[in-house]
Structure 1
Amino acid sequence: MRKVYIKITTAAILLISLFTACSLEETNPSTVDLEVAYTSPEGFESLVNYCYDGLYYFYGKIDGIGAMEMGTDLWVSESKESGFTLYDSKMNTELGTLRVIWNGFYATVNYCNTAIYYADLVEDYSEEEKNAKVAEAYFLRAWSYMHLVEQFGDVVLRTEPSSIAGIDNYPTRSSEPEFYDLIISDLKFACQHLPVNQGAERGRVAKKAAYGMLAKAYLQRTRLGEANASEYAKLALETAKELIDNQAAYNCALYTSDDTKSGYSKLWDGLNNKNNSEFLFLEAVDHEGFLNPDKDNRGRTRQYYLMDLKTVGAEWGTAEKNCAWYSRANDRGFKPTKYLMTEIFEPVKDPADTRFAETFFTEYYNSRWSDYTISQSLVDKYGKDQSLVGHVIKNTAWTYDPGNDYYFGQTYYRINASGNVNMVDEDGNGYLDGISVFTPNYTIPAEEKALLPFLCVDPSDMYDASGKWVSAETSTLGTYYKECYPSMRKFSSLYWIYNNQKWEGDVPILRLGEVYLIAAEAALRYNNDQAAAAQYVNAIRQRASVTGRAGEMAVAQGEVDLDFVLAERARELAGEQTRWYDLKRYGKLTTAYLSETNPDITTFEPSKHIVRPIPQSFLDAIANPDEFGTNGY
């Protein structure tokens, strides 16, 4: 296997991180020391490298997931990040996650501002070399400010490093258009000066990232309601087209389908993860030397979306410690809404669209290292047919195999993951003989489910009549069924599993597939060009099926309106930390829309919930907190 090394997380030791700071500011007692350190290319590049550090705290970590994906039409949770998922009383100025987001993105801004400030002092750089390097800081400052303005609204906009500007005890708000003016200017600089390729340094941004992010920024700006909003839609379309129409020039491409595998499946294939043609901007994880923040403690996303394999699943043969493919079930909580399961995705057994199957696990296998026998008590508890007493669920966890060709050498975890052996259907019932739990998004008749030799929980079991998730109060088996649901699969390719909690694959932040959907939405927002929008949507949809079924995925241009594109974004991007921003851009963060699509959310207040509370730690650190208030909280 070719080894790829990553260098972008080298610490710039002269900077003090803001992750634990109380305000926006940090001080450095010796600006001269910084000038000496950053005049050499090596010192300056170390500073630029550290601008990437924030990626590792927001992707694959619960803080970013809660803020960017939850509280939408797609996900529910009773136990995880409830301030974000349910807009309950935990969403307040004291919420710790808000401090992580606020301090984390402002820390990145400050590193980027420092790099931009010192760029002209670097010796032994040509003008082209300097611009190419500082363009990374411009890109990451724009990325950070885009998150800050979307999360918190018109807060503080800084373009100088705190080591130069000093502490500002009386900060002022900047308008959202001012934020976007800087974001767009920064990304234009990045488009102009970033190289097409960054060589072997995987994860370092290149031109394709800048064009993709600029198109995204133009489109997101349309939500501001400015008089020239359609012009920003036009610019989003033109920028997206530049990338789509010149993919070879920018070193990117959609994966194509063949007769057995969809392009969407290839996108998430572990063998493609470290050199992925669709990833434009990513969190690059060093899987060899673990030179990452938190070292090997990466890839936690799948853990938060996992169904209960250690209690309910265990009754049917799963064993959490051996379920490395799925993840560890100790931190589960995020589960799909009925809207996502049965309206966004077509609730049928064999859809042409492979995106549901590639987004979710629905089959969970016996992983006890031995066969598992269904007992009388289990049949009685779950209302199964008496004929199933004594039925054997086959073990699917492979034991030690010294001849395996996986990289990590973590043979115990990698080979003993469930789903490796006995993947057969010897009894001819249409299901593998090692299935312990099955959570499809289509409904199976009750009498048929009673005869299935495993626990089967479908939408009729998961949701009550109102569309809410079941509970002990609304269903006889609600205590158990509310813990059974499809689990996140996108970030779980077996190839990069280190153990049942850690996953060492790269995480995409922006993909080419999203750029196609940006182009489709922009075409509609600019001049309602449904023909152009349908062209981009159909390219995405057809690569989501195998070749022989591509025709089933085509949609007529008259069907492609803004709501269709929003639904398509859910099918394409579910779980990829875009949905809260999508609903905000669409004006769908409303009581009416969320009540219809996610009835578990009952406390949404549009007057305040379209932005987050400003952290109390910041308000306590400044002399003019009344000027900022609490963003309505």
Structure 2
Amino acid sequence: MQRKINKAILVLAFTAGLLACNKQLDEYNPSGLTVDAVLSTPEGMETLVNAAYTYTRWWYGKEQGYNISEMGTDLWTSGTGDVYPDLTQYQNLQASNAVVSLEWKQLYAAVNVCNTGLGRIANAGFADDVRIQREAELRFLRAFYYWHIVETWGGVHFSVEETAGVATTANRTPVDTFYAQIFRDLDFAVANLAPTTGDYGRATKPAAEAFLARMYLTRGRNQEAADLAEKVISGYSYALLPDYADLWRMDNVQNSEVIWAVNYMKNLVFNDRLDATLYPNGHSRGGNNGHLMFWMKYDDLPGMKRDVANGRPFNRYMPSLFLLSLFDETADARYEASFKRAWYCNNTSTAPDGMQPGDTAILCTRDVVSAEERAKHSYRIYDRNDVYNTEGGGLDRTHYISLRKFEDPTRAAINEEQSARDAFVIRLAEMYLVAAEAQLKLGNASRAAEYLNTLRARAAIPGHEADMQITAADVTLDFILDERGRELAGEQLRWFDLKRTGKLLERIQAHNPDAAANLQPYHVLRPIPQDQVDAVTNKNEFTQNEGYQ
């Protein structure tokens, strides 16, 4: 979905209050157009709706979104290049953190764009069928953005009205109020969105149903979650790909398993890399940048140099030893499909004697490799004892098995930061996992096992199908979380999953010693940005989240 944003709408989006983090904002409108004039036309309102979608790009496929949604969990720890250990390992996490400040501003900007559109859409001159579709999209997006806000920060500021001018006060609203509105908006979206779209990236009825199923599960409405997840599974043409690895091919990102995705453009110009209005601080790096974040440093080792195929290694995050231990690599194809373990010689000028192009230059393994076995090979080996200490914490944070789901060998140059890869937000596999968890909580472990076995059958290495099957006795909440780790690692859901299940503290303490050393009970919420707290005038009412300074 190509979204070129009218500059008049940017005036609206960035200067209309948005829970102002500064007490004074400078406004500049080179076109001379007013918000009232623009939004009284169908063309202007279409541009606003398109603008409302763009805020998903601040989170999905972006470093800041990964930091909040995947890091600080049981699955990941810091690579050498990690720039936010306060989020990854809870090292003195405070309100000054730049990531929480940026995401707060953009999520509230997104909500205000939605509120503005919803307040004005009746007078935009739309035909009735178009109006109700666009209203349903805005309601879906508002629910989506408010979910990120309420789960990240708790009962913070809430409004369904357009903010005009600079707001100097903020309210504290109960979490239940947020969710009541989320359900109202999603009910409307489900009732009115079209079942399909020719404009890839727009919300559809099944996307709204899938997200609503996630919300039902989050709020303990398990029967509704189970029923709606099953409806999405069986009521549309979505299908699990036979080969899990095919999900991540750059030539197959729009596939039968994707229910909703953040659409990045093959023409990188349209990903707004150089748009100073959209990305004034250069934070977004334009397109999807997941391909940068999870790669180990390979390009300074013998036999290797940086190239497009092997990627640009920002070395931000490495898998926890626990994440790697979740997979039976002899039976589960998701291990090989999800992780890169070997690098092949592409630089004979630095290679050991006898190493040829295409020979193994680096091998990372979760096994222990003896000195005798190492002596048989000329390539570098990093085994579990090289990379992790005895407690499972990081030891060598530069060389490790690397998540490969987001690699992009189609980039035009070795240092290209942008990828045209779409960021999957909801895919069909999640609906099987939602249904399984809901059925378990309803006391139907056998039905839960059936949903899980469907996913595990798809994941089985040929000839090992029986090894992947489970029984009702195997199904526990921890098993489902482990299965979600195997299926969804890196897909920007983990922190929310652990929080929803009440397992965030327990699982970090059990499986991530780097983060466990600093973890506190109040870390189930993130700090409200300091610039927000400083900006409001009603500081007695709008206070910082507990535990943060």
TM-score, length of structure 1 as denominator length = 0.79
Contact 2:11 2:28 in 1 (8 A): no
User: What is the distance in 2 between the residues matched to 1:319 and 1:561?
Assistant: 45
Amino acid in structure 1 at the alignment position of 2:118? I
Matches within 5 A, 1:161-180: 161-163=162-164, 167-180=166-179
In the other structure, the counterpart of 1:283 is 262
In the other structure, the counterpart of 1:520 is 436
In the other structure, the counterpart of 1:300 is 289
Amino acid in structure 1 at the alignment position of 2:214? K
User: What is the distance in 1 between the residues matched to 2:28 and 2:120?
Assistant: 17
Matches within 5 A, 1:63-102: 63-77=64-78, 79-89=82-92, 91-102=93-104
In the other structure, the counterpart of 1:364 is 343
In the other structure, the counterpart of 1:345 is 327
Report the CA distance shift for 1:29/1:35 in structure 2 as closer, same or farther (over 3 A): farther
In the other structure, the counterpart of 1:264 is 244
Report the CA distance shift for 1:287/1:623 in structure 2 as closer, same or farther (over 3 A): same
User: What is the distance in 1 between the residues matched to 2:498 and 2:90?
Assistant: 15
Contact 1:371 1:393 in 2 (8 A): no
In the other structure, the counterpart of 1:415 is none
Question: Post-superposition shift, 1:71?
Answer: 0.5
Amino acid in structure 2 at the alignment position of 1:507? A
Deviation string, structure 1 residues 372-392 (Cα, Å, up to 9, x no partner): 541xxxxxxxxxxxxxxx3x2
Matches within 5 A, 1:375-524: 390=353, 392-396=354-358, 434-470=359-395, 481-495=396-410, 499-500=414-415, 501-524=417-440
In the other structure, the counterpart of 1:557 is 472
In the other structure, the counterpart of 1:110 is 112
Amino acid in structure 2 at the alignment position of 1:210? A
User: What is the distance in 2 between the residues matched to 1:161 and 1:215?
Assistant: 28
User: What is the distance in 2 between the residues matched to 1:104 and 1:461?
Assistant: 40
User: What is the distance in 2 between the residues matched to 1:64 and 1:603?
Assistant: 23
Amino acid in structure 2 at the alignment position of 1:140? L
Question: Post-superposition shift, 1:247?
Answer: 2.4
Deviation string, structure 1 residues 187-216 (Cα, Å, up to 9, x no partner): 1111111111211x2211111211111111
In the other structure, the counterpart of 1:421 is none
Contact 1:364 1:438 in 2 (8 A): yes
User: What is the distance in 1 between the residues matched to 2:158 and 2:499?
Assistant: 21
Detail structure 1 runs of 4+ shifted over 6 Å in the superposition. 24-32
Amino acid in structure 2 at the alignment position of 1:72? T
Q: Percent identity?
A: 31
Question: Post-superposition shift, 1:605?
Answer: 4.3
Report the CA distance shift for 1:25/1:211 in structure 2 as closer, same or farther (over 3 A): farther
Amino acid in structure 1 at the alignment position of 2:247? L
Report the CA distance shift for 1:339/1:56 in structure 2 as closer, same or farther (over 3 A): same
SS in structure 2 opposite 1:543? Answer: helix
User: What is the distance in 1 between the residues matched to 2:142 and 2:162?
Assistant: 12
User: What is the distance in 2 between the residues matched to 1:555 and 1:607?
Assistant: 34
Report the CA distance shift for 1:198/1:236 in structure 2 as closer, same or farther (over 3 A): same
SS in structure 1 opposite 2:515? Answer: coil
TM-score, length of structure 2 as denominator length = 0.91
- Please, which runs of 5 or more residues in structure 2 have no aligned partner? 275-284
Report the CA distance shift for 1:543/1:84 in structure 2 as closer, same or farther (over 3 A): same
Name which of 560, 568, 589 aligns with 2:504.
589
Amino acid in structure 1 at the alignment position of 2:186? L
Contact 2:245 2:338 in 1 (8 A): no
- Please, which runs of 5 or more residues in structure 1 have no aligned partner? 1-5, 223-231, 257-262, 375-389, 397-433, 471-480
Question: Post-superposition shift, 1:371?
Answer: 6.1
Name which of 522, 532, 536 aligns with 1:608.
522
Matches within 5 A, 1:218-229: 218-222=216-220
In the other structure, the counterpart of 2:201 is 203
Contact 2:268 2:287 in 1 (8 A): no
Amino acid in structure 2 at the alignment position of 1:332? N
User: What is the distance in 2 between the residues matched to 1:360 and 1:582?
Assistant: 22
Report the count of equivalent residues: 528
User: What is the distance in 2 between the residues matched to 1:452 and 1:503?
Assistant: 35
Deviation string, structure 1 residues 314-354 (Cα, Å, up to 9, x no partner): 2321112x2x223212x212101111112x122x5xx2211
Larger Rg: 1
User: What is the distance in 1 between the residues matched to 2:468 and 2:150?
Assistant: 36
